[in-house]
Amino acid sequence: MTQTTDHTHDANATSWVESASGHADFPVQNLPIGVFSHGESAPRGGMAIGDMVLDLPGIAMMLEDPAEDAALTANAPVLNALFAGGRAPIKALREAVFALLTDESKRTGVEPHLYPAAECTMHVPFLIHDYTDFYTGIHHAVNIGSLFRPDNPLLPNYKHVPIGYHGRSSSIRVSGTDVKRPAGQQKPVEDGGNPEFGPSKRLDYELEMAIWIGQGNDLGDPIPVGEAEEHIAGISILNDWSARDIQAWEYQPLGPFLAKNFASTISPWIVTMDALAPFRTAQPVRAEGDPQPLPYLQHDTSAAAFGITMEVLLTTPKMRAEGAEPFRLSKGPMTAMYWTAAQLIAHHSVGGCNMQPGDLLGTGTLTSGEEGGEGSLIELTEGGKKTINLPNGEERKFLEDGDEIIMRAYAEKDGFARIGMGDCRATITG
Ligand code: MN
């Protein structure tokens, strides 16, 4: 399936849902899918439209197959079954809902199935069997490598093999869920000393995007890179919370463990590959002298990247009490990925590993390589050496209890309606 645009991307299309017009995240051209509940009702699939959530099972009888079947399959607390069917039914559902929401004559029938988003509770949209976090942000890899290994920041494998580790899926939570500061063993202050134990003193976030797997593959049957995008359900925002003092002590020789398994936060909406079609862009050309990918990772990268802008914002308890605006810590593009999403999937499965619907692939921290584009505090503060001065006089090096991190991501392009992911936010508790 090539990424082409169609009438559902028309910037002039408008919905009779008034709040959708010019909505920063959820105009009718987006229609992301998530799991919501309203009042005492059971969690089920919904679509965001303006400030409202559309109950997908509720409108199923107004649709025709395959969209009707998709809307009925969305009548579940998780969307694994909906996305397991591949991209065709998702596209059909998008087109059918677009038709309902842009046709005034359907308003009376559809309106009882719309709920104010502010009254809804959002849930993790999949039963996430497996979560893998990659390390595709090359500027982040250089920055972190420089802190841990000043003489040798980028290890020799980096430009040949997509680096990743198998993460923890049980502690992934949806935006709005508090994150409890982890305790653990921390790196001795002096080399050769004994570790400290206690609440992390260097709690950090990582600005990442989440790539959701839709249709899976059988064990032993790798996904070719040229077919990999057919296996993507969509994308969300991911905050890979990281306790740097725990990480520094435990990461050798097997990589992150307790430093990252206490919590990860995702934005609730799956922005589909169809919604993202206008915003696909060329993968940045590799620097001169960089190796070419091995054949199993080679594909047409002319539209393999995502033209998405990401931001991290901070509020402290004092800022909120003062009614201050969130302070933006950084901003940068998703094109900071050294590997494409398709390459990540092809690599993950090349040895025969079976990807399953609802598997979550983190991109790794995406740092832009320019000042103001650092995707974590450890980079912004150069390992805690520099202080971040907030507008109200407060200072930060790492996160304190009560701090809230808000991540946002959106796509903009001339001639198309802007679409966004919705917030990915969480507050630190002691
Ligand atoms: Mn990470």
| Interatomic CA distance for residues 71 and 55, integer angstroms | 9
Question: Taking Cα atoms as reference points, which of 39, 115, 129, 15 lies closest to residue 83?
Answer: 129
Cα-to-centroid distance, 206 and ligand 1 (Å):
6
For 7-123, the fitting CATH number among 2.30.30.230, 1.10.10.10, 3.20.20.60, 3.40.50.150 is 2.30.30.230
Instruction: Give the pLDDT of the chain (430 residues) as one tens digit per residue.
Output: 456 899 999 999 999 999 999 999 999 999 999 999 999 999 999 999 999 999 999 999 999 999 999 999 999 999 999 999 999 999 999 999 999 999 999 999 999 999 999 999 999 999 999 999 999 999 999 999 998 788 889 999 999 999 999 999 999 999 999 999 999 999 998 989 999 999 999 999 999 999 999 999 999 999 999 999 999 999 999 999 999 999 999 999 999 999 999 999 999 999 999 999 999 999 999 999 999 999 999 999 999 999 999 999 999 999 999 999 999 999 999 999 999 999 999 999 999 999 999 999 999 999 999 999 999 999 999 999 999 999 999 999 999 999 999 999 999 999 999 999 999 999 999 9
Cα-to-centroid distance, 138 and ligand 1 (Å):
12
| Interatomic CA distance for residues 250 and 241, integer angstroms | 16
| Interatomic CA distance for residues 90 and 75, integer angstroms | 14
Q: Which residues contact 156 (CB under 8 A, 6 or more apart)?
A: none
Cα-to-centroid distance, 360 and ligand 1 (Å):
12
Cα-to-centroid distance, 404 and ligand 1 (Å):
18
Cα-to-centroid distance, 136 and ligand 1 (Å):
9
Tokens of 354: 């079976």
| Interatomic CA distance for residues 192 and 159, integer angstroms | 33
CA–chain centroid gap for 143, Å, is 22
Cα-to-centroid distance, 165 and ligand 1 (Å):
9
Cα-to-centroid distance, 164 and ligand 1 (Å):
9
Fold of 131-429: Fumarylacetoacetate hydrolase; domain 2 (3.90.850)
Cα-to-centroid distance, 66 and ligand 1 (Å):
37
Q: How much is the pLDDT for 148?
A: 76
- Per the CB < 8 A criterion, the answer to whether 270 and 79 are in contact is yes
Residue-by-residue DSSP string for 216-283: ---TT-PPPGGGGGGGEEEEEEEE--EEHHHHHHH-TTT--STTTSS-EEE-S-BEETTTTGGGEEPP
Cα-to-centroid distance, 233 and ligand 1 (Å):
21
Cα-to-centroid distance, 240 and ligand 1 (Å):
5
Question: Taking Cα atoms as reference points, which of 323, 289, 285, 322 lies closest to residue 305?
Answer: 285
Exposure string over 212-221, b if 16+ CB within 10 A, otherwise e: bbbbbbeeee
- Per the CB < 8 A criterion, the answer to whether 239 and 426 are in contact is yes
Q: Which residues contact 248 (CB under 8 A, 6 or more apart)?
A: 148, 186, 187
Cα-to-centroid distance, 102 and ligand 1 (Å):
39
| Interatomic CA distance for residues 145 and 29, integer angstroms | 40
Q: How much is the pLDDT for 13?
A: 98
- Per the CB < 8 A criterion, the answer to whether 419 and 317 are in contact is no
Tokens of 193: 């000393």
Q: What share of the chain is helix, strand, coil (3-state, %, to 5)?
A: 25, 25, 50
Q: How much is the pLDDT for 1?
A: 43
Q: How much is the pLDDT for 187?
A: 94
Cα-to-centroid distance, 44 and ligand 1 (Å):
29
Question: Taking Cα atoms as reference points, which of 120, 36, 112 lies closest to residue 75?
Answer: 36
Torsion of CA 370, 375, 381, 384, to 10 degrees: -150
Pick the catalytic residue from 139, 140, 347, 348. Answer: 140
Q: Which residues contact 327 (CB under 8 A, 6 or more apart)?
A: 313, 314, 315, 319, 390, 391
| Domains of the chain by residue range | 7-123, 131-429
Exposure string over 349-387, b if 16+ CB within 10 A, otherwise e: beeebbbbbbbbbbbbbbbbeeeebbbbbbbbbebbeee
State yes or no: is 140 an active-site residue: yes
Q: How much is the pLDDT for 57?
A: 98
User: What are the beta bridge partners of residue 360?
Assistant: 131, 212
* Cα–Cα–Cα angle for 419, 421, 427, rounded to 5 degrees: 145
